[in-house]
Amino acid sequence: MIRKLIAAGLAGTMLVGTAAFAADYPDQAVTIIVPSKAGGSTDTTARIFAEVAESKYEGFEFVINNMGGSGGQKGFEAIARAEADGYTIGMNFTPQMVAHVVSGRADYTLDSFHIMGNVAQDAGIVAVPKDSAIQSMAGLAEAAKGGDLTVSVNGIGSDDFLAAKAFEKQAGVTFNLLPTKGSTEQKAGILGGHVDAAFMNLSQMIAQHNAGDARIIAILTEARDASADQIPTAKEQGFEVYMSATRGFVAPAGIDAGIQSKLDAMLADVLADPAFKKKTAASKIALLPMSGPDYTAYLQQLQAETQEVYDAAPW
């Protein structure tokens, strides 16, 4: 008898599950695919979002599914392929998401997604060893003349790589470019004086900068960062090089418009929530809220810029 009841219940939920209408949405947990390992900053962002959203919206439950590796490609593909029923959304991070498209490795395109909006950013920076003679971006350009200044980036096709390429183009120099397996190697290289400079992200080096173990000579955003306002922008120093790693939410394209607008509104609402702001600040996540249309435009432009770099020197 009990078995029959359970079976009937299961059949019932399956029926409801297939017909997802905005009216009775959600009737099950929403999965957030995080295309990186648990414990990283993208993962933390998703978890804080889930926590705040669950407390604000009754009936909503989120499950985080980490799909790390391959520069996020596995996760991005999974989001693009997921059923567009509103029960799977995911996080994206740039520039990897568009870089996979540009290099022809991705099965998805930007059109495979509905871009929900951006949440956070990690500004690009240029760091040098603490006793380096290089004090500014002009100094970096000067030192790079001759082509034997060793500069590390976090892998080919990464945000650091694109920023370094953009700087090379503007300053008319060529670095002795050192690709690494990640920020750990980059930090060790700068702190140990094995490289002359590194293109990195603010969160990876700010502690070392504050401790005096390394020096950040420029931040690669339009304006100075509120948490590190003593660091000048590259723009102030005469170099229009902009790069930051953004982290936002996307959904598979084709979700029922009613459901999608519910989710989009929720994202905007959570981003404006004081509890969300407080929690992200504690985890040192720099917020950069962007609406869906704005973020879509940003991604399209980024893809075009990345394409230019790729066409000049494919990887």
Binding site for other proteins (CB under 8 A): 37-41, 43-44, 47, 64, 67-71, 73-74, 77, 103, 105, 148, 150, 155-157, 176-181, 184-185, 187-189, 191-195, 206-208, 210-211, 213, 282-284, 315
Q: How far apart are CA 88 and CA 82, in angstroms?
A: 7
CB of 293 to other proteins, least distance (A): 30
Closer residue to other proteins (CB): 223 or 281: 281
Q: Which is nearer to other proteins, 20 or 166 (CB)?
A: 166
d(CA 199, CA 153): 5
Burial of 217 (0-12, 13-18, 19+ CB in 10 A): buried
| Residue at token pair 């994206």 | 92
The token duo for 195 is 């490289």
**Assign residue 219 a region: left if phi > 0, alpha if psi is -120 to 50, beta otherwise?**
beta
CB of 191 to other proteins, least distance (A): 5
Residue 45 one-letter amino acid: T
- Cis peptide preceding 26, ω within 30 of 0: yes
Nearest approach, Cβ of residue 234 and other proteins (Å): 24
Q: Provide the minimum distance between the beta carbon of 102 and other proteins in the complex, in angstroms, as a whole number.
A: 12
Q: In the complex with other proteins, which residue's Cβ is closer, 71 or 124?
A: 71
The residues near 210 (Cβ < 8 Å, ≥ 6 apart) are none
In the complex with other proteins, which residue's Cβ is closer, 34 or 110? 34
Shortest Å, Cβ 15 to other proteins: 28
Angstrom distance (rounded) from CA 187 to CA 308: 29
**211, amino acid identity:** A
Least distance CB 182 / other proteins (angstroms): 9
Which residue has tokens 């979700």?
Answer: 255
Query: Which residue lies nearer to other proteins by CB, 107 or 294?
Result: 107
Closer to other proteins at the Cβ: 28 or 70?
70
